[in-house]
Amino acid sequence: MPGNAFHRRENGFTLLEVLVAVAIFALLGMAAYSGLDAVLKARARLDDENRQWRAVALFWVRLERDLSAFVERPARLRGGAPQAAFLGEPMAMGEFAAQLELTRLGAADAGATPPERVAYRLRDGKVEWLRWPALDSGPRATPDVAVVLERVALLEFSYRDSAGIWSPRWPPSANLVKPSAVKVNLKLESGEVLTRMYAY
């Protein structure tokens, strides 16, 4: 009936229905993208944290290996005066200065290798590991430097003598070769504070 306000649509969709459907699909697509983006960001953060904690674990392993391989052999680096076999300083002042420096046995997997000089320091938020080519080297000899840990806010070493007294420097006196224990405080930029102690 022409006067009836209601009429039956034989087939197809009206323009309004199409627009509503497009809007609904757009909203669903935006919601799905937001959810996927959040999942991907969370996964990226988790992967980054896993890499950081693996690096922390490897740092502890490397440090323990170097400390356990200590040998009482002084060094003469860069053509200077003999240096004690084990040295510790609160701050690394200078181009190749370090906070912890010691002589260690050569790598066991490399066969009969001579002792080597290695060191640790914190510089620009990165823990660096230094290794000199020889214990007695000329004035132009420089160490290899490798970054072993990043995003570090603080690295502190302290050393205990035979009387149980802790000091930020080693040796506290000329007649002491190595400490009875080494304590390491490590603070990451993310806020975690980790402490390890190694006894001799």
- Taking the C-alpha atoms of residue 52 and residue 79, their distance in angstroms, rounded to an integer, is 38
- Taking the C-alpha atoms of residue 29 and residue 141, their distance in angstroms, rounded to an integer, is 62
Question: pLDDT per residue over 72-108, tens digit each?
Answer: 999 998 777 889 999 999 988 788 889 999 999 986 5
Spatial contact of 155 and 127, defined as CB atoms under 8 Å apart = yes
pLDDT at position 5? 46
Spatial contact of 93 and 155, defined as CB atoms under 8 Å apart = no
- Taking the C-alpha atoms of residue 145 and residue 117, their distance in angstroms, rounded to an integer, is 12
Percent of the chain at pLDDT above 70? 91
Pick the CATH number of 64-150 from 3.30.70.3420, 1.20.1250.20, 3.30.70.120, 3.10.610.10: 3.10.610.10
What's the DSSP call for residue 199?
Answer: E
Reported pTM:
0.77
Spatial contact of 157 and 88, defined as CB atoms under 8 Å apart = yes
